[in-house]
Structure 1
Amino acid sequence: MTTPERRRDPEEDRMAAEGQGARAGGLGRAATSGVLWLMVQSLAARGIGFVSQLALAWLLTPADFGVIGLAYTVFGIANALVSFGVDDVLLQRQKVMTLWSAPAFWVCLSLGLLGMVGMLVAAPFAASWYHSPELVGLIAALAIATPIKTLATVPSVRIRADMDFRFLAAYNTFEIMALQLGTILLAWLGCGAYSFAIPIPVLAVIKAALFWWKAPPRIGRAIRKVQLQYILGSSSTVFATRTIIEIVNQGDYIVLGLIASHSVVGLYFFAFRFSAQPVRMLAGNFINVLLPAFAQLRSDPHRQTEAALKACRLLAYIVVPFCFLQAVLAGPGLHFLFGERWMRAVPFVQILSLGLPFDAVSWITGSLLSARREFRLGLMFAVISAPLFFGLAIAGGLADSALGVAMAVAFYYFTYPPLCSLLILRRCGVPVGRVMELYVMPFVISAVAMGLGYASSLLPGVRAHDLSRVIAIGTVGTGLYPVLLFMLRRDVFDQLAGRFGGMLGKFRRVKGGVAQAA
């Protein structure tokens, strides 16, 4: 679908001109503050998610994890279809957003209702496809959330455009905590796989209410035909890209659902959730901050590219050690907590934890493409990714079931996303050496630090006990990483220290202000 020629609107031009000057001065400060707030939220979410994962591993069986993993293949793809890319297009018009809120809202709600109907229709077919009758009820429970979630789309874009990341960080932390506690409570009550599904529509209602209170959209304006044509036309490429990406994201579960038992799918689902948390939480929060900032820097491509590079470097040096640490902790950690119950998931955790961090940088370079409105290039990368991913996953699954799929997925993320990031950044004029440094140095430093941590856990007197091995790995690995970073990349060490120092200073000032007020 081609994008129609957009008509000039004098009121939009006036509002854009007024907004540009007002926003320019505080952009850097707002983006930096946003990264800090959402980084704290990511760390809190990581802790909450880790504890929740442990509790659910005690309360549920691998088969329960497997069934909900299969249900998510339908839910995830349906939500990609529903989002349609309206939020990205609306964010590009953030300076005149009030003129576009009404058509964007009604488009989102209409798509949400269609998505719910589509999921309800697809549920029996998915149950037959995966030989799992219980999927009908699970998918129906998830389908209810689909139109409700769209109610928060326009307010969420408004909040992101205003760079109110403190509110977003607070809400995200609340949502993660409520979701995990609700899931654990339902699992304790014996709800099985439904423990994952029931809290989602409930939290969708809460999010819609809070976001409307924070940033109520103006949906009473008259809607012009040209606006609908522009939103749907501009969104079509983003829609296709997101749909393909979501199908790829669910591809390993789709393949395993056809060739493996629910228990095996559950072991893989458990491992993937555990392994992907650092990348998805940190990278996802980074792009929430950076996409609106990149969009405002569109008139200054050099500054935009440099901001993207700094963000890529910061993210890579934070995510990679997290992933490597969980790879070396998986064996003794899971055995200490669960005995033999989840030990079959250990190889999956290790393999995926070493492959997934290679995907982190591509989240930011993908946002850079969106900010530059190069949606067709993003679609081209997505179109190439689908046959590549499914080809690898099918080959791995046929060769060695879940272990083969895990190795195929790790290999995919080790190769294709870095290649895409390299091509995007080279297109922006970044030398190959600067791009490769984003991958090579974080992985070398992390591998050495965590490798030595793992070696220390094999020393006599330590290796006999799982807990002593966990303590040794954590102490040595996390202690060596900043030392090696200081020795080999002092500039990055100073950047990270400055970021965290500024964050601590902010919290001290906030705490002092609260105490003074009291």
Structure 2
Amino acid sequence: MGKVTISFVWAFIQKFGNTFLSFISNIILARLLLPEDYGAIGMIMIFIVISNTFIDGGFGSALIQKTNPTTKDYSTIFYWNIFFSIGLYIVLYFCAPFIASFYKLPLLNNLLKVLGVVLIINSLSVVQSTQLRKKLKFKECAYATVISSLLAVCVTVFLAYNGMGVWSLVIQQILVSVFSLLLYLYFNKWIPSLVFSWKSLKELFNFGFFMLCSSFLNNLCNNIQGLIIGRQFSSTVMGLYTQSAKLATESSNSIASVVDQVSYPLLVEVKDDNRALEKIIRQLSCNLLFLIFPLMCFLIMVAKPLIVFLFTEKWIDCVPYFRILCLSGIPVVFQGASYNSIAAIGKSRLMFKWNLIKRIFSMTLIFTGLKWGVYGILWAMVVGAYVISFINMCLVASQIGYNLGKQFRDIIPIVLIATCPLMLLFLIKGIFEIPNEYDCCMGIIYLVLYFIISWCLKIEQLGNIGQILASIFRR
């Protein structure tokens, strides 16, 4: 098995191992905790996510994009991250009372002050994880991620069972960061030199700054709806949204993030060859779409029995939220490959420019959707996701040469094969008034039809995925 395939396999193990543990812990914790607990943690996570974006500062991507980074480069970023994370934590600490007042939930004051510690812990592992990714050592990354998640989950479930409530979720985040740091230090025995170079920082910042701005805009717009929902509605509604978004996001992003993680270093290697870039982007996007599109359709069909089975009846109100969010998970396949390809060729300034335009449009949609309540916000997210994906396709066409005609010719067959059985089954369910108790059976029938049609029409992506699975089992 080639180095690339091995990297994909271990990235797959890393992501799905972590997702599986998160999924299992979520099932257990949802039975022990209340929607309000998830709502409280969801309200403050936007501040942690945004702060973590600044800690990386785009320097991780800049170090991977740079051909031969030196020890001086790595050491400079290591010390900068520590300094900057401490500053961010101080800001969060003193802003915590105002954030709690904004949400009208005093508990958030102490929650944010404690949870903010993860910023400092995470800053210590940025260089370690970047070095492993640059060397395509995803086996070590997988071990670090899965083991740290497993240990944290065990402790969290114990704390939740013993009545710690929302604090168990806070401690879980801290423990994941601590265990990850220790394992990255074990697998990547790199020690920073006692050197700091403003020249190195400036050089990496020139590329990383626009990566930072793009990441900041992405994370802000991906989490702004949580900020709005938390402010405008109750913590219970926020909890329902948080749980729905988590399940939908993990379902769609789990596969996509595996590919994104491995694809960036690969795209960097062929950044001067547009034909090779086009080939990789096509394979990544189409293979992802072939998997994610039917998965999201399946989840839409089985949403109600799935939510009740996993989280019990007390979470049933999040079913419509979940179904809508599944629709926004489909176009995610076009975002990672296009984002990484533009970054790989060094066009970070262009990325930032278009990200700014895309995110202004998305935020406008979300604030407009607020007029129609929570559902208006959710549908605005769906529309925004598809528009952003189309813009990404246009960028790839203009910068890489993979024109829109080719892109649509590649994806339309998959879209038709995925949507036709779905519409047929919904039509049959409506005509014959099939009760919801048979939703799971309908979902299974849908998947069977999807793969049978793909096999009959000799869809290329089915063969590609079959080859990858065969090579894994042969190994």
- TM-score, normalization: structure 2? 0.93
The answer as to whether partners of 2:40 and 2:239 remain within 8 angstroms in 1 is yes
Q: Conserved in 2, the CA contact under 8 Å of 1:90 and 1:97?
A: no
Partners of 1:393 and 1:405 within 8 A in 2: yes
For 2:212, the equivalent position in structure 1 comes to: 239
What is the rounded CA distance, in whole Å, between the counterparts of 1:456 and 1:172 in structure 2? 44
Cα distance change of structure 1 residues 121 and 250 upon mapping to structure 2, 3 Å threshold: same
Q: 1:442 aligns with which of 395, 409, 414?
A: 414
2:19 and 2:186 mapped to 1: Cα distance?
Answer: 28
Aligned length: 475
Q: Amino acid of the residue matched to residue 457 of structure 2? A: L
1:338, 1:285 → 2: CA distance? 27
- CA change 1:194–1:437 in 2 (3 A) is farther
For residue 404 of structure 1, the aligned residue among 376, 379, 394 is 376
1:419 alignment counterpart: 391
User: Is the 2:148–2:179 contact (alpha carbons within 8 Å) kept by the matching residues of 1?
Assistant: no
List per-residue Cα deviations over 1:19-61 (Å, max 9, x = no partner): xxxxxxxxx9322221123224444444433333322222221
Name the CA distance, whole Å, in 2 between partners of 1:425 and 1:437: 13
Find the counterpart in structure 2 of residue 351 from structure 1: 324
Give 1:514's aligned residue.
Answer: none
Say if 2:72 and 2:196, in contact at 8 Å, map to a contact too: no
> Taking structure 1 as reference, are residues 337 and 228 closer, same or farther at Cα in structure 2, changes over 3 Å only?
closer
**Equivalents in 2 of 1:180, 1:434: separation in Å?**
45
What is the Cα deviation at residue 273 of structure 1? 0.6
| Residue identity in the other structure for 2:270 | L
How many angstroms apart in 1 are the aligned matches of 2:442 and 2:151? 31
Q: Would the aligned equivalents of 1:365 and 1:425 in 2 still touch at CA under 8 Å?
A: no
Deviations 1:289-318 (A, max 9, x none): 111111122233321231122111121212
Q: Could you tell me which of 223, 239, 246 is aligned with 1:273? A: 246
Contact between 2:338 and 2:395, CA under 8 Å: does it hold in 1? Answer: no
* Counterpart Cα distance in 1 of 2:129 and 2:407: 32
How far did 1:381 drift? Answer: 1.9
Task: Give me the whole-angstrom Cα distance separating, in 2, the residues matched to 1:291 and 1:234.
Answer: 15
What CA RMSD, in Å, does the superposition of the two structures yield over aligned residues? 2.4
AA in 2 matched with 1:367: N
- Give 1:109's match in structure 2, choosing from 82, 102, 119: 82
Which moved further from structure 2: 381-390 or 265-274?
A: 381-390
Q: Which has the higher contact order (CA 8 A, sep 6+)?
A: 2
Secondary structure of the corresponding residue to residue 69 of structure 2: helix
For residue 216 of structure 1, give the secondary structure of its aligned residue in structure 2: coil
Do the aligned partners of residues 263 and 477 (structure 1) sit closer, same or farther apart at CA in structure 2, a change above 3 Å counting?
A: same
Distance 1:463 1:51 in 2: 31
User: CA distance change for structure 1 residues 244 and 261 in 2, over 3 Å: closer, same or farther?
Assistant: same
Q: How does 1:164-313 map to 2 (within 5 A)?
A: 164-313=137-286
> Match of 1:120, as an amino acid?
Y
Residue 317 to residue 465, structure 1, CA distance change in 2 (3 Å):
closer
2:364 and 2:11 map into 1 onto residues whose CA distance is 36
Work out the CA distance in 1 between the residues paired with 2:473 and 2:147: 21
**Identity over the aligned pairs, expressed in percent?**
19
Does residue 1:497 correspond to 2:470, yes or no? no
Q: 2: distance between equivalents of 1:340 and 1:205? A: 35
User: Structure 1's 437 and 411: CA in aligned 2 closer, same or farther, altered over 3 A?
Assistant: same
Question: What is the CA–CA distance in structure 1 between the aligned matches of 2:200 and 2:403, rounded to whole Å?
Answer: 40
Residues 445 and 41 (structure 1 numbering): CA distance in 2 closer, same or farther, change over 3 Å?
A: farther
Aligned residue number for residue 141 of structure 1: 114
Is residue 362 from structure 1 mapped to residue 335 from structure 2 by the alignment? yes
Tell me the distance in 2 between the aligned counterparts of 1:125 and 1:326: 39
Q: Deviations over 1:432-464 (max 9, x none)?
A: 12222454333332223445566677898x955
Contact kept in structure 1, 2:253 and 2:329, CA below 8 Å: no
Q: How big is each residue's C-alpha offset from its partner over 1:196-220, in whole Å with a ceiling of 9 and x where there is no partner? A: 2112222222212221222233411
Measure how far apart 1:259 and its partner are: 1.3
CA–CA distance in structure 2, aligned partners of residues 107 and 94 of structure 1: 21
Worse-superposed segment, 331-340 or 218-227? 331-340
Please tell me whether the aligned partners of residues 63 and 69 of structure 2 are also in contact (alpha carbons under 8 angstroms): no
5+ long unaligned stretches in structure 2: none
Corresponding residue number in structure 2 for 1:124? 97
Query: What residue in structure 2 maps to residue 513 of structure 1?
Result: none
In 1: Cα distance, 2:436 partner to 2:65 partner: 55
Q: Secondary structure at the match of 1:342?
A: helix
Which residue of 2 is the match for residue 67 of structure 1?
Answer: 40
2:73, 2:201 within 8 Å by CA — same for their partners in 1? no
Cα distance in 1 between the residues matched to 2:146 and 2:96: 31
Secondary structure of the corresponding residue to residue 193 of structure 2: coil
Distance, in Å, in 1 between the alignment partners of 2:411 and 2:93 is 43
Residue 262 and residue 35 in structure 1: after superposition, are their counterparts in 2 closer, same or farther (change >3 A)?
same
Distance in 2 between residues matched to 1:135 and 1:112, nearest whole Å:
20
CA contact under 8 A between 2:14 and 2:141: conserved in structure 1?
Answer: no
Change (3 A) 1:481 1:164: same
Gap change, CA 1:465 and 1:234, over 3 Å in 2: closer
Deviation at 1:335, TM superposition (A): 3.7
- Contact kept? 2:267, 2:277, Cα under 8 Å: yes
How far does residue 167 in structure 1 lie from its aligned partner after superposition?
A: 2.0
State the Cα distance separating 1:497 from its structure 2 match: 0.8
Matched, 1:480 2:428: no
Output one character per residue of 1:67-102: Cα deviation in whole Å (capped at 9) or x when no partner.
111011111111112211110111122533434211
Report the Cα offset of residue 474 of structure 1: 4.0
Alpha-carbon offset, residue 417 of structure 1: 2.3
Name the structure 2 match of 1:469: 439
Seen in structure 2, the aligned counterparts of structure 1 residues 84 and 488 have a Cα distance that, compared at 3 Å, is same
CA shift, 1:187, in A, is 2.2
Q: How far is 1:465 from its partner?
A: 6.9
Q: Distance in 1 between matches of 2:83 and 2:337?
A: 30
CA distance in 1, matches of 2:154, 2:410: 37
What residue identity is the alignment partner of 2:87? L
Which deviates more from structure 2 when the two are superposed, residues 114-123 or residues 94-103? 94-103
The one-letter amino acid paired with 1:364 is: A
- C-alpha distance in structure 2 between counterparts of 1:186 and 1:328, whole Å: 35
The 3-state SS of whatever aligns with 1:190 is coil
